[in-house]
Amino acid sequence: MEINFEKYPLPKRIRHHSSPNLYFKFNEFKVKPDYYPPLYESIDWSKYFLNAKKPDYIDIGCGKGLFLLQISELEPDKNILGIELRKALVEWINNFIKGEKIGNAIALWYSVINGLSFIEDESIEKIFYLFPDPWHKKRHFKRRVFNSETVAEIYKKLRYGGKLYIATDVAEIDTYHRKILSECDKFDVETVLVEEQWGLPPTNKELFCVKENIPTYKLICVKR
């Protein structure tokens, strides 16, 4: 998908990290933060998707939205929901979607750490978790979204046979992902060795990795 950045200029300042508050559950705060994404009990999908149906795919941490927008173009019969912590990027993606009249994609300002209760159980075909922030420092490990609780939530929302796609450019994070998945023991995990196995368009981060010759690590996890 070609994006005219003169017509749709990206926000001038895009922080790599969001406020630390956003990486923790809302109900854990003794003093509620002023700046925090909305919580949702349910969503009327007719307000988001042209066909008024629920999402088929979820892109967790959709970033600048290149992957989300490409999937929406490649698979126009599928609804894709992007979830992102950085509000400015969510607003930019949705402005592009509105301007280009894309009816099967939307970005939501939301923190996945609060769960996905607004998504129907066993309803999602594919969930993408691509190139998450590795949070290298030990004191920041608690900010990692990928944990046993989140994986259990993802499992619950996927259809049987549904797929979770995971990618990172950090070997230690790949090992960490595998450990969490092994402890969960509810997915058949396939290591991607050639791109033909993957079959997905690149994210912004992946394009950077290809340009800089940085290796990537990819998993396809199928719900049993």
CATH label of the domain that carries residue 118: 3.40.50.150
Q: How many domains does the chain have?
A: 1
Q: How many CB atoms lie within 10 A of CB 95?
A: 13
pLDDT value, residue 175: 96
Whether 17 shows a pLDDT value over 90: the answer reads no
Where does residue 59 rank: exposed (0-12), middle (13-18), buried (19+ CB within 10 A)?
Answer: buried
16 falls in which pLDDT band (50, 70, 90)?
A: low
Where does residue 136 rank: exposed (0-12), middle (13-18), buried (19+ CB within 10 A)?
Answer: exposed
Q: Establish if 158 belongs to a structural domain.
A: yes
Q: Summarize the confidence of residues 208-219 as an average pLDDT.
A: 97
Whether 136 shows a pLDDT value over 70: the answer reads no
Strand order in the sheet with 57-60: 105-109, 80-84, 57-60, 124-130, 158-168, 217-223, 187-191
Where does residue 212 rank: exposed (0-12), middle (13-18), buried (19+ CB within 10 A)?
Answer: exposed
Q: Establish if 66 belongs to a structural domain.
A: yes
Whether 133 shows a pLDDT value over 80: the answer reads yes
pTM: 0.94
29 falls in which pLDDT band (50, 70, 90)?
A: confident
Q: Summarize the confidence of residues 192-203 as an average pLDDT.
A: 94
Q: Establish if 217 belongs to a structural domain.
A: yes
CB 118 within 8 A of CB 58: no
pLDDT value, residue 161: 97
Q: Which residues have a catalytic role annotated?
A: 133
pLDDT value, residue 24: 86
Q: Establish if 132 belongs to a structural domain.
A: yes
14 falls in which pLDDT band (50, 70, 90)?
A: confident
CB 214 within 8 A of CB 134: no
Q: Establish if 122 belongs to a structural domain.
A: yes
Residues in the chain, overall count? 224
Could you list the residue range(s) of the whole structural domain that residue 184 is in?
49-136+147-223
CB 222 within 8 A of CB 161: yes
In tens, the pLDDT along 88-127 reads: 999 999 999 999 999 999 999 999 999 999 999 999 999 9
pLDDT value, residue 15: 67
